[in-house]
A and B are shown apart, each in its own frame.
Chain A
Amino acid sequence: MKTADLINRLTVDLKPVDYRRASRALGLAFAAGSLAAVAAICLTLGLRPDLREPHALGFLMLKLVFAAGVAATAFLLLLRLARPGQARRSSNLVAALPFVGIVLLAVLDLSATPGAQWAALIAGHAWPKCMVIILVMAAAPYALMVLALRWGAPTELWRTGALAGLLAGGVSASAYALACGDDSLPFVACWYSSAILMCGVIGGMLGQRLLRW
């Protein structure tokens, strides 16, 4: 086919398009994924029973600031990565900030405690459960983000997939925090972070296949 013919074909019957569609789809997917994760936690593990205590509430808030912070920064980066040509002007470093923050807090906390208690602070009560639940529950928000990214045109598939994975991990960890009774900074820095990062790596690997267009 001649290029001129192709141009004829493409310009016939041109429909107006809305450039906000991709962003809207991503926003919807983010919201729906968060709702799904919270609902899943409420229906299975239930909220932690001690939420009236200021200490428990304080720790819940801290976990939420960290995990939701990861999800939110990943979301902002994805809004750019969903559009061609904007990837280079957005930095991955922003997505690392919440991790740096939580690790710093954990180090401060550990330095103020005797070394004999470190192992207990880090391992908490239920670290394997924490990891598994965060990973499993990230599947739904990830799938929703991948679907939404189909309305966009990501050109850096690994990076886009990894950020979708981080977002899903952040959402999933936020929801898990509602049920999680492990209140120690090193615990969050260790297990929440690694679970979310694993979501990112898996997301990146899957993204290379799932996000092609």
Chain B
Amino acid sequence: MKRQEGALRLMMEQAQLGDARAYRTLLEQLSSLLRLHLRRKLVQMGRNAANAEDLVQEVLMAVHARRDTYDPSEPFTPWLYAIARYKLIDHLRRSKMAHAEGPLDAAEAMSDGFDHTAVESGIDMEKLLATIPQHSQRVIRDVKLDGRSVAEAAAREGITEAAAKVRIHRGLKAMTVAIGGRLWREDR
């Protein structure tokens, strides 16, 4: 990321001056960066990552329309990711956080990607946990906050590993809806 910053910044400055070739290279690099970033975010939030490409395009269009709001004396990547975040929230609001799709097997992958430090600081993990049923709370606390394995957590609860995964999956899904409702309200 650090190494990219310099190159991206240079291309953006050229693009602001009207250099179409630098701009094309920039957009091509941004689209792959954004694709990875947005896919990860969507998966973290328990959303269908198939929408990532639409979102990539939306962010590229926003970057294009607002390219004059980048101040060349400031770092470029924070500018890009702030736009990406804004458009992601916009997207989530429009799809109204309907429901998470995806098979149950995804629970493992999804929970692996669920990094609680990534949850926006304004959202209190404890309050969020309190919105879901107690039995899910315990398993999520074990696995996500205390770093136990799924097998350990299942043993502590006296349930099978598959059942523990189901609880994690449902709990995270409910928490996602809770975050979504909050983002939606905050941003209106």
Name the residue among B15, B68, B188 with the largest chain A CB count within 10 angstroms: B68
Interface residues on B, range: 35 or more
Asked if A112 CB lies within 8 Å of chain B CBs, one says no
CB-contact partner of A22 in B18, B62, B68, B85, under 8 A: B68
Complex interface residues of chain B between 49 and 74 (CB less than 8 A to chain A): 53, 56-57, 60-62, 64, 66-72, 74
Q: Is the CB of B27 within 8 A of A10?
A: yes
CB-defined interface of B77-111 with A at 8 Å, one 1/0 digit per residue?
11111110110000000000000000000000000
Q: Is the CB of B53 within 8 A of A87?
A: no
In the assembled complex, the Cα of A209 lies from the Cα of B62 at a distance in Å of 18
CB-defined interface of A9-24 with B at 8 Å, one 1/0 digit per residue?
0111111111101100
In the assembled complex, the Cα of A15 lies from the Cα of B23 at a distance in Å of 11
In the assembled complex, the Cα of A157 lies from the Cα of B83 at a distance in Å of 13
Q: Is the CB of B83 within 8 A of A84?
A: yes
Q: Is the CB of A11 within 8 A of B20?
A: yes
In the assembled complex, the Cα of A1 lies from the Cα of B85 at a distance in Å of 22
Nearest neighbor of A84 in chain B, beta-carbon distance: B82
CB-defined interface of A150-191 with B at 8 Å, one 1/0 digit per residue?
001101011000000000000000000000000000000000
Listed in ascending order, the chain B residues whose CB lies under 8 Å from chain A are 15-20, 23-24, 27-28, 31, 53, 56-57, 60-62, 64, 66-72, 74-75, 77-83, 85-86, 186-188
Listed in ascending order, the chain A residues whose CB lies under 8 Å from chain B are 1, 3, 6-7, 10-19, 21-22, 82-88, 152-153, 155, 157-158, 208-209, 213
